[in-house]
Structure 1
Amino acid sequence: MTSYDYQEALKNAAKSMVRVKHPRRLLRMMVRFLDREVGLTHSSILIYDQFKARYIFIDSKGSQRIPVNLIKLDATNPLIRWFSDRDQLFKVKRDYLTTQSLSGWMEDPHSISNGSVAVEAKLRLRQLNDAMKTLKAAVCIPGHYKRELLGVLILGDKLNHESFTSEELSFFQTLANDAAMALKTAAYQEDLLAKNVELEMQKKRLQLQLKEIEALRKKEQETYYEIVMSLAQEVHAKDPYTSGHLRGVERLGVMTAQEMGYDLSGRAKDILVAALHLHDVGKIGIPDQILKKPSPLTEEEWKIMKLHPEKGAKILAPLSGFKEVAKIVLCHHERYDGAGYPAGLRGEQIPFESRIISVVDAFHAIISTRSYKKGYPLEAAYQELERCAGTQFDPRVVQAFIRAHKRLMAKSKDVEATPKTAAS
């Protein structure tokens, strides 16, 4: 091959190295190229296997080719020691190694080593020569990436028995170093790909675990919600008044919100209905002797009764989707003028839904007959609400509630007045 041929060959090899992604395929291509273009008794490639911690042959071509995967060299092999720069006895550049240069050093080891260790240097050179003979090598070319020995190109004699020129040896060395760089790049890419695959697997495992956790959390929330609802039912079951009161409060609460033009789309209606249904759930923590007392409560008993909004909010707090509901329940006994409990909120500080519950809840208490009081007629109940508008209640809620309730009553009368058709 001429100088121009070698330059072209290097360019073509470099292009191939860029295109080929699999490192072993790249090295086999290089071995086939040398076997075809140079004409050798054999061309072989030795690379480092990090899993076996040894250098192994992965390909060999030619009449004297080396059996692949049978010969393995470790770090103590003279050839590996030489190219790994572990022999500090010698003062010579550790690039390509030829049998011709090795023979000259063996005859005069002083030329490349300290004279005081010439005997040991000669022994090492003889071991190196024996290693090359074992591999039938005329030339050995290391492939380095920085200072790391990644592989060794082993070349036999030329078939035409000519010596290797310095231009050829430089070409082989450049080719080996380029291959080492491509090998390292491919190894980085494989490592990166493996890490990406592992990260993707970890991501999928994490997503699966999150789904399982979410399913458990959802199940836990559903179970807790069922418990809360059963507690609410238990509160209502303690007092027939409370049961009927609940049904009326839910219906009128929704009607009042609609009368005020409140947007009940999405979760808004669910939140309002849940708050209307659960606003007295905290009474489960109030002793029965207070809750069922047939006469007016004492001052001390009222202090205990006034704890039920806070108890209810605490019961609802663990339900992740009930944060708004818990706040509404907490505030449903606040007053518009700030004289309510438990926090003394006033006006717009009180959640809108809490202001609705306050009016509807009070209305049912006003019209209901208890053992210690007689219920008000409807008109008197309306007047009582209006009297307390601006102090205990939001005036707008009061007016909306009265309109909604009157319309409900009118509709009920119309239904009662409609003649029933006899069955035919």
Structure 2
Amino acid sequence: MKLSTTLAVAATLAVSSWAAVPPAPGAAPLASAAAFQGAACPTPASTEAKKSWKHGRPEYDAFTAAAKATGAEQAKLAAEFVQKYPDSDYKITALQVEMQAQSGVPSLQPEAVKTAEGLLQTSGANASQLMSADVIIAYLQPNLIKSTDPSAQEESNKLLAIAGCGEQLLPTAASAAQQPAFAAILSKAKGFAQLNLKQYDAAITTLSKVAQDNPKDPLPYYWMGIAEVTKTTPDFNAGIFDLAKASVLAPSTGAISSYLNTVYTSFHGSNDGLQDVIATAKSNAAPPAGFKVLSKSDVQYGQEMAAYEKKKEELANALPPADSFPGIKARLEKPNLAAAEWKNVKGVGYELPGIVTKITAKTIEIAAYAKDASATQGDVRVNLFSPLKARRPKVGQQVTVKGVASAYESQPFMLVMKDGLIEGYEPKAAKPGE
């Protein structure tokens, strides 16, 4: 993908040193540099030979014209110089001029890479010249290599090797001021090549360092995110975070936002929560502790658990039928239902079976609908219509009482009925309440 094709740092050339025609030929030959072969780095020339214009004034004038031109014209003149004077002592310098001019013209950037590769294969290049070619290639190639190209793997292998060669040259071939920028370009190219070659863990390691050194650059985060979600054992938490971070740093780059949305939706099942992830990425350089994106299975499990808990709560809070004593009791015990329920219950006559828990001449308490004679906690108190005579039921005995609901107590629950009687015991009333 492309974010910018403007060269951040370019090797500078001291044009002033070409101002005079040097003495006639006779300088010592330059040390030979090995041609660039895959991962074998070219050997920089160890000595600087005295240069001369072998073809006299025409050679000098052609070189000077190329040095003074700009843009596409400079690239054209420099290329013509190299073609016309292939044995010139200034061939490598002309190649530098050519590749730098080409790198500044978007349509010529593929040619800049070819020119730089040609420089790497030219005998006599010193460390600084080799470094300038490595940096040009490392900067431009990530924008030029397309994964669908048949040569993508070959070009990625070449880029990985060139980035490695540049890193080896860096301590001696670049000034202290140049080294941070050159190192970032070379490392990004290395990480990009590793990503294209499916060396995902290596790419993540390389690009993590680049992102730490420059947390405002979206590309390392974007490439890291791709590696993290594509590797054999994906890390979707880290990958989605890094893709979100890249989208925050490059909000107008649709390719990043689109890929983030695709990955997130595929993993999570929808885009719910994506904006929360983006907000987290906006305020953090790395995933904070506990950061987690739920997978589709996590979401489904969470939904199933929520449904289960809801059903469980519904069952726990399910009320017995409203026309039964357990239903009346359950509703009167709930503060939000008690008032409405009491309006329905108060003044209504009920006939309830149960176990006697307490008995006096004027009152009886029962555990309504209890079957066990050992029940001790009553929940219905009946104030009798008339005091009992000599015979009365015993505690633990099964009886049936009748009465009219007149009051209730909630803690502990007790339904109070008046005008009551006990079936089978004197006195009797025609109807409860009469």
**TM-score, normalised with respect to structure 2:** 0.26
The alignment's TM-score, normalised by the length of structure 1, stands at 0.26
Q: Which has the higher contact order (CA 8 A, sep 6+)?
A: 1
